[in-house]
Structure 1
């Protein structure tokens, strides 16, 4: 019977302390009250602000953590205890952050407080003048707008990395005399030509060189001829979209006719 009574008393005590209640408080520092301080119950993620007199109300229960933050003050965390819950009002004192200037440099000048005279003595901002000259295009020549680079000057490694650089001749770069539409058309033609030039290699990579002879029964010496024979707009689109299965299916169909023509 005693154990049951003790258990009931303990349960009631826990329920009382577990209940959420409203905590009232006032926030101040060593100068006076602190208005508009942010008070957050980190446990329940509820928040409020102190009013013009530093007062605030917030719901909390035993064990909750209240965080108080304010501009020009150090943050402060307070754990809600039975003592703070028993009080009608809690006082929170914040510590002011000291703003210290690390270094002040005073330079002697010869200014006489006359705008016309002092402006002549003001040191020239060299960075500003350089930037203004850089933005001045009045003296720019038409030839300055064309920048050409020869692909032959590019290293072999660069040509291998970017197929477009394998194009012999001059490649048009930024600031050309062509209109933007002409540039785009020229760029598209170059990319399309480069794609077609490398298309057989890409098809061999997709299918696998050994599969041409083992699966499609194309003689090894005829593989390149067969690829060129098979390439059409549909296969080009399949390669561009990386539809590899469709590429293989199209080549299977075309291999039948190719072998017939080769045998005939």
Structure 2
């Protein structure tokens, strides 16, 4: 006699499989945020994902990033501020950006001790009762140049000989007394040249600074940019002004541009 094996209803099986799939489907990802208070950006805030015990701290501009999944609880704590916790909802997880505002902590003293002094409030009398600061006396003796002959000639040392700039005669009258020579004034475009030099130095250091701040994981794992194509990818995004945005500390906008442009950039690589 064949026995019929009891089976679970199809609806129950579907619910179980859907629950398992949903549990594994909630993948982790890095979210970015900024911590502020009534004054401005807050640095060195301890940021802890209580759910997975992963932590980080905010940088000097208040920015941070942390690995989360929907439903995680993130704690923000600082000595100067009240501790705050937020729960990562599906909307926050999808948005990927957070702005946290912390309230300043107020400390109340139970008591304090006010020591009595022997000063009477008159400078002529009180100054004789105040002890001399030994450090101030030592500093005063070190800064005393009364015994130094300021008019004595000192021979040039090696550094002075090497770095002394050339003497440039900027007197316009000398033009009329020097045959075939013209006076050159080197300061006319100096400000513009120094600005250009600063811009060039910033452009050279930009790829390394942004890699340190955003991390290798962001570029090579999250965006999937090949390591050998890293500099080329930044040049690809430069027309959108990422260097100027980064210089103005608009980091969230830079991240948004890099994420968007990485998709079209990877498609171009596949066509090569």
Fold agreement, TM-score > 0.5: no
TM-score by length of 1: 0.38
Which has a greater percent of helix? 1
Larger radius of gyration between Structure 1 and Structure 2: 1
